[in-house]
């Protein structure tokens, strides 16, 4: 997701240290201090403008959520949207999602969400895909025992690659959906911005839930 720089973005981020952290190494192993309650921690890698993570936090107050985004303007928009909700179980991390072990202690996270990640279709870019084995190793390290990864995409090629990658890593599949919006799983589904856009055009949405 690329958007034009917003001149107000840095000022908004700086004005809300209670809701957003830049980098965040100082909270490694103690993210619970950022929330009103100590609860299971769910993270979204590449949170975009925040539609998914905000609505998840609203729907599931019994969990704590962190939306991670590397683009300053994008995460500032997510922060702006979140300010309207005042959710005590939501935080944002302005950082590179490829460096999760710098920000989270081993077994600190209960679930990882990967939503509409960049497919990096060229073979030479395989290692950049968020379901590549090196990323799965990182998720396994920061997740609790039997921790869960949920992945959604509109890209069939990336989905097929991801199923193979998760399977080869030895993960256990809890569910695979080839047309999420026409399945029972959609009853509890929370959409992302991209998901709403693509599904409105009739594009099937793919989803997998798996655990280590």
On whether 118 is known to bind a ligand per the annotation, the reply is: yes
The answer to whether 106 is a known catalytic residue is no
Q: How many other β-carbons are positioned within 10 Å of the β-carbon of residue 181? A: 18
Q: Which residue in the block uniquely carries the two structure tokens 């683009």? A: 71
- Find the catalytic residue in 18, 102, 106, 118: 118
The candidate with the shortest Cα–Cα distance to 85, out of 65, 103, 113, 111, is 65
On whether 33 is known to bind a ligand per the annotation, the reply is: no
On whether 193 is known to bind a ligand per the annotation, the reply is: yes
On whether 69 is known to bind a ligand per the annotation, the reply is: yes
On whether 195 is known to bind a ligand per the annotation, the reply is: yes
On whether 187 is known to bind a ligand per the annotation, the reply is: no
Beta strand pairing call for 64-69 and 41-45: parallel
User: What gap in Å lies between CA 23 and CA 12, rounded to an integer?
Assistant: 16
On whether 106 is known to bind a ligand per the annotation, the reply is: no
User: What gap in Å lies between CA 62 and CA 76, rounded to an integer?
Assistant: 25
Catalytic residues: 118
- Binding residues for S-adenosyl-L-methionine, as ranges, are 44, 69, 96, 118
- Binding residues, as ranges, are 44, 69, 96, 118, 122, 154, 192-195
- Binding residues for substrate, as ranges, are 122, 154, 192-195
């Amino acid at each position: 997701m690329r958007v034009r720089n917003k001149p107000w973005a840095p000022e908004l981020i700086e004005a809300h240290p209670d809701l957003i952290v830049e980098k965040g190494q100082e909270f490694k192993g103690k993210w619970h201090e950022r929330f009103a309650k100590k609860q299971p921690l769910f993270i979204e890698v590449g949170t975009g403008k925040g539609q998914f993570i905000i609505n998840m936090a609203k729907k599931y107050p019994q969990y704590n959520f962190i939306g991670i985004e590397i683009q300053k303007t994008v995460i500032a928009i997510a922060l702006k949207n979140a300010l309207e909700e005042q959710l005590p179980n939501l935080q944002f991390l302005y950082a590179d999602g490829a460096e999760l072990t710098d920000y989270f202690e081993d077994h600190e996270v209960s679930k990882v969400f990967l939503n509409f990640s960049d497919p990096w279709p060229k073979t030479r870019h395989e290692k950049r895909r968020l379901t590549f084995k090196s990323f799965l190793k990182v998720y396994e390290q920061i997740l609790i025992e039997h921790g869960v990864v949920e992945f959604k995409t509109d890209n069939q090629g990336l989905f097929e690659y991801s199923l193979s990658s998760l399977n080869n890593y030895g993960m256990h599949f809890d569910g695979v959906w080839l047309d999420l919006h026409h399945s029972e799983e959609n009853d509890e589904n929370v959409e992302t911005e991209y998901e709403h856009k693509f599904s409105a055009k009739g594009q099937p949405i793919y989803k997998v839930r798996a655990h280590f």
